Amino acid sequence: MAGLNIEPQSHSSKPGNILPRRRPSLSLETPNTQADRRILHAFLDIYFPKDVVARHDPNHIWLQQAAFLANPGSALRLSLRAISMVRVGFNRHDHTLIAQGRETYVCALRELQNALGHDVKMKEDRTLAACRVLTMYELFDSTSFRAWNKHQSGMSHLLENIGPAAFTSPLGRSVIESFRGPAASFQMFQSIQQRQRSFLTSPEWRDQMKKCQDPQQRLHDVGLQLAGFLEDFDQASDSGAIWQDSQTLYQYLSRCAEFDSTLEKFYATLLRDAAGMPLYWDGNEGSSPVPEHESLEFPNLTTAQTLMIHWALQLIINMTVANICKHAQASNVMSTPSPTTSIANTYMWTGNTTLIKQMAHGHDTNRLRQTAILITRSMAYCMRDEQGLVGPQRCIFPIRVALTAFRTLRAHELPWCEEVYAQLAHGKSLGYAKDIVDFEGRWAAIEASSISSSPC
């Protein structure tokens, strides 16, 4: 499959890799239904949160369906076995089980490659589910910080090329919905980081997807639209004309204001639906030596992660507006019109420059800092043991956005945020987080395609 890189990745000798790679034994590739079921049940028990609301989140349906599929096929069966072995092994400090899981991962990659090279198997729902499982595997036991991105991009290419109408079974539909929804917020943030429009926003996919009723899915749709906006803005910025024409700049800032308004309305809807109950509150006093670093509490994990993504999108918009306004104020677009400029154009320039100044004031560094603090204060709640692996898994990217904001501001909260982020890698053994932390030095956590890239 073009664009889908799933060549076996070798685990390096970095800390966290327990045993060296051995040649996969034949027993790893043959079915062992009873053993598979035991290890899979153990994995699901540590993966799902104990919270009843979060555990029954409809976005978990795909994994439950995949886990108990009557005929999963080799690629899906081995993918589930690999992630189960590695995660249960980490949980039990069983180095042998971890090593076997990594061997199984290589077998699963080979079987998936075979399926993707087959005209019929490539379009099967169980092949799509295997792709999804192995993408999740790379978050937990990353072979390199780029490996997850390749898996995620490869799955995107697979879905885009085959099209939404090809997947009609309950498993196929639930995998697609999870790829669009909060269980796959990674697709949204990857699109934002790469500043590229997602195929999920195309009319073909919008028409095929069910109407959004889930608040988290509506929020993710906003994020996908934001990624498309960033792509449009970069193209306009590269041409240079946007920095010479206040009207064009006004149009882009107006779109940022629309995103702001949409997020404010979304939050207002959450408050209304909560029927007077708080969406979050301060945790126990004294939980941190710095009062503003004390953790937040939430009614449930679903609410916590919805708010974290909401705040992350606010941060992205805030940083985008700040960059636009900073560059605009240093360019010719803010220059006073010449005396020969028509009254109409002078009036339009006055209105446009007023908006630029208002937007710069409304998206100042204090707002950026306070929003990043809210995300960081939410992490302790999401990383509690009772949140399973879902809790830390879904907050990787919001905390990365907060980390970017603190880096941009050179804020004194940066070391605190870095330490919280590192807990994902070391405390929860999320390999992807550790690879990002280790990339180009201890805290060079954001790649060159970071959402903090300057629009100019």
Is residue 95 within 8 Å of residue 89, measured between CB atoms?
A: yes
Residue 71 main-chain phi, psi, to 5 deg = -130, 80
Residue 413 main-chain phi, psi, to 5 deg = -80, -5
Q: Which tokens hold the place of 54?
A: 């979060």
Question: Who contacts 344 (Cβ-Cβ below 8 Å, separation ≥6)?
Answer: none
Q: What is the rounded distance in angstroms from the CA atom of residue 297 to the CA atom of residue 203?
A: 39
Q: What does each of the 456 residues of the chain score in pLDDT, given as a tens digit?
A: 433 444 444 444 333 333 334 434 445 556 667 888 899 999 999 999 887 766 666 667 888 889 988 889 999 999 999 999 999 999 999 999 999 999 999 999 999 999 988 888 888 889 989 998 998 898 888 766 677 777 777 878 888 888 777 777 888 888 877 766 554 466 787 788 888 888 888 877 777 665 556 777 788 888 889 999 999 988 888 887 677 777 777 788 889 889 999 999 999 999 999 998 999 998 876 566 566 788 899 999 889 989 999 999 999 998 888 888 777 666 655 554 444 444 444 444 455 566 666 666 666 788 889 999 999 999 999 999 999 988 888 888 899 899 889 988 888 888 888 888 888 877 777 776 666 555 433 333 333 333 344 333
Q: Could you give the angle at the alpha carbon of 30 between the alpha carbons of 27 and 34, nearest 5°? A: 95
Is residue 228 within 8 Å of residue 197, measured between CB atoms?
A: yes
Mind giving me the DSSP string for 258-316? HHHHHHHHHHHHHHHHTTT--S-EE--TTSSSSGGGSPEE-SSHHHHHHHHHHHHHHHH
Prediction pTM value: 0.81
